[in-house]
Structure 1
Amino acid sequence: MSHTDNDSRGTANGLTSLAEAEFAPRTTYLNTASSGLGPARAAEAVQRAARGWPTGDFSDYDPAVAASRAAFARIAGVPPERVAAGASVSVYAGLIAAGLPSGAEVLVAEGDFSSLVNPFAVRADLKLRTAPLERMAEEIGPGTALVAVSSVQSADGRLADLDAIRTAAAAHGARTLVDATQSAGWLPLRAGDFDYVVCAGFKWLLAPRGVCFLAIGESAAAELPPAFAGWLAGEEPWESCYGPIAQLATSARRFDHSPAYLCYIGAAASLALIEETGVETIHAHNLALADRFTAGLAELGYQAVGTGGSAIVSVPGLGAAAEQLERAGIQVSARAGNLRASFHLYNSAQDVDRILDALPAPVH
């Protein structure tokens, strides 16, 4: 393997110190694409809040939601007033699906994650059309009402050409929905370029499961009915507890779900860690490890999916090796027949070398 330069070594050393302070994986953990590891500071915050639960101390609850919303907004590059806080991608995709008129055409990528696709598929009166990821932009037409795509594909780590999709959608008057669950936290995000960006926080943002954000553009927000609005969606929540809400929040908070407070307490601490480290720093670190793994795979005789640029690296037809690697203390995943490894700020070059040493020889 090639040696890193001084700047890269300095960054790597800083992330190594951070990883040692915040994370304690029991295995060689290369599976953030399934679930991120929680930082120690987040676990401590949740435990502290849980200890306050029996005593009636709920003072951290609402501030944690506000802090999480603001942190995600900064990461996504939008004002916090444009961010709603919820619990899952499928609920927000379902809300957007429910707002479409009968007969509307929705374009999705072949094999995209079900939480994004299924809410549109179960509405029999919608026209759901699929296209290869590489052809998404050119498949958008004058009849397309919405194009929904994951920025990074869960099954294999391929990146969508979001710039091309945004340009084509604008040319045809189509709305855009991007699922950033597999990218936010390591891949720089410009959520303001799209009508909707949804992101579950339990992967690359290192939050507990039960945290999800929806960044929504102003014109899209004006058209989307807040069908799931509860009392917290009121402009004055404590005056919105009974009967119809007199005034919904003027911000994206009208699309909030009642939050899982303990999850958001953990999220506030995890998102602070992402911001302190910096998405650009994490991006460079993750891609360096992914490139090291891809190069090592080629030396062994394996071909990874895609052309690089992703923190997720998949090897077609090698999914069965995941069990063998697990027995060797290396945690990856098998998805769609692929062996999928994913790299984040707590991983190191030694982790990459360990999985390369443990892989079975290719069968020719």
Structure 2
Amino acid sequence: MNSLGGSEFEPATTYLNTSTCGLLPRRAVEAVQALAAENGTGAGDGGGSFDSVDAARASFARLVGVPAGRVAVGGSVAVHVGLIAASVPPGSEVLMAEGEFSSVVTPFAVRGDLKPRYVPLESLAGEVRPETALVAVSAVQSGDGRIADLPAVRAAAAAHGARTLLDCTQAAGWLPVDAGAYDYTVTGGYKFLVSPRGTSFLTVTEEAQESLVPIHAGWVSGESIWASTYGPVEQLAHSARRFDEPTAFLAYHGAEQSLAVLEEVGVERIHTHVTALADRFRAGLASLGHEPVAAPGSTVVAVPGLGDLHPRLVAAGVKVAVRAGNLRAAFHLYNSTADVDRALDVLAG
């Protein structure tokens, strides 16, 4: 099975580490370099183009199935979650999975006046109760690739009147996501969205938007940006753009191109490709006597007890990671069956 990346990607290694950081497509690299050259010589008329930011916003919106007006852009998941955490009423219970990624849980934990509660991922839906104000969970767990039972979580939250926050950082770009089914979603752009670091996306339903206080609002959050540059912003954007963070233009010039590549290939096609590769890897691991964490349908494969083999893989030019005690591999559109077989050969010694 050949890669789907074509000439856009040029991995110099057997790169199975997208859960840590995705590869940038050629056109994204060129866009960043072009803007950097302009900024270095004064050839442009400023730091970058809001048109590129809005193109990235619209592209992401299409990838996750929401209108562009429901998407805010920023620089990190932690800041988006911090915005949501700051708006949760004191004394509220926030339900989260044990071992959840730090950026999802810490903004709630540091408040001091909330009631964070952690339960096993597989029990999350069953643990929602009337006093639960918010359920926060990753679609795909960073440490081991397990996929949450999202329909059950949504149903339980709706039954008890709780809001939902979904972190799509390990999902968007390969797993079909319906962001509009959640009150909030947050997504880091530098993994499966193959965008530069410094890109992230927040989606907010129209109803949930009214519950958030735009605590970091600046001039880019105004309904009319260029009429909002001095003094307090008189009118915030009517859309989710009111939650935009000041823009890292270099990152978003690249993201515009990266997300266009994903749209051209198609998430459904990527999903079919990467899950087949992950299944091949799991089968090969089993033949070698190794048992991955059970994560059916996930492109992320984690194997307990193999962390000590990480240096061997790196020395052989196979890029993977060690997370939560697991050797972790993750497949994306630029991977092929040759990559799977190369990793298995190295693990077999």
Task: Give TM class, smaller chain.
Answer: over 0.9
The answer on whether the counterparts of 2:295 and 2:301 sit within 8 Å (CA) in structure 1 is no
1:349 aligns with 2:330: no
Structure 1 segment 297-312 matched on structure 2, within 5 A: 297-312=285-300
1:131 aligns with 2:116: no
**Structure with bigger RCO (C-alpha 8 Å, 6+ apart):** 2
The answer on whether the counterparts of 2:288 and 2:348 sit within 8 Å (CA) in structure 1 is no
Match of 1:29 among 12, 15, 22: 15
Deviation track 1:243-298 (CA, whole Å, cap 9, x = no partner) reads: 11110000000000011001000000000000000000000000000000000011
Q: Name the SS for the 1:359 alignment partner.
A: helix
Q: Name the SS for the 1:33 alignment partner.
A: coil
Which position in structure 2 is the counterpart of 1:212? Answer: 200
Q: Distance in 1 between matches of 2:144 and 2:113?
A: 31
User: CA RMSD of the aligned region, Å?
Assistant: 1.1
Structure 1 segment 32-111 matched on structure 2, within 5 A: 32-53=18-39, 54-58=41-45, 61-111=49-99
What percent identity do the matched residue pairs reach? 58
Structure 1 segment 166-315 matched on structure 2, within 5 A: 166-315=154-303
The answer on whether the counterparts of 2:36 and 2:250 sit within 8 Å (CA) in structure 1 is yes
Q: Distance in 1 between matches of 2:290 and 2:315?
A: 21
Q: Distance in 2 between matches of 1:249 and 1:66?
A: 14
Q: Name the SS for the 2:307 alignment partner.
A: coil
Q: Distance in 1 between matches of 2:286 and 2:167?
A: 30
Which position in structure 2 is the counterpart of 1:329? Answer: 317
The answer on whether the counterparts of 1:49 and 1:58 sit within 8 Å (CA) in structure 2 is no
TM-fit CA distance, 1:182: 0.2
Which position in structure 1 is the counterpart of 2:107? Answer: 119
TM-fit CA distance, 1:50: 1.3
Q: Distance in 2 between matches of 1:95 and 1:47?
A: 32
Deviation track 1:68-109 (CA, whole Å, cap 9, x = no partner) reads: 000000001000000001010000100100001111100111
* Segments ≥4 residues shifted beyond 3 Å: none
The answer on whether the counterparts of 1:61 and 1:262 sit within 8 Å (CA) in structure 2 is no
Q: Distance in 1 between matches of 2:42 and 2:247?
A: 20
Q: Distance in 2 between matches of 1:339 and 1:243?
A: 51
Q: Name the SS for the 1:223 alignment partner.
A: coil
Q: Distance in 2 between matches of 1:111 and 1:44?
A: 38
TM-fit CA distance, 1:307: 3.9
TM-fit CA distance, 1:360: 4.8
Q: Distance in 1 between matches of 2:278 and 2:119?
A: 27
Q: Unaligned stretches of 5+ in structure 2? A: none
Q: Unaligned stretches of 5+ in structure 1? A: 1-11
Q: Distance in 2 between matches of 1:356 and 1:308?
A: 19
Q: Partner letter of residue 35 of structure 2?
A: A
Calculate the TM-score normalised by the size of structure 2: 0.97
Q: Distance in 1 between matches of 2:270 and 2:79?
A: 29
Aligned length: 347
Q: Partner letter of residue 156 of structure 2?
A: A
Q: Partner letter of residue 27 of structure 1?
A: T
Q: Distance in 1 between matches of 2:175 and 2:156?
A: 22
Q: Distance in 1 between matches of 2:276 and 2:267?
A: 14
Match of 1:151 among 139, 158, 170: 139
The answer on whether the counterparts of 1:69 and 1:85 sit within 8 Å (CA) in structure 2 is yes
Q: Name the SS for the 1:297 alignment partner.
A: helix
Calculate the TM-score normalised by the size of structure 1: 0.93
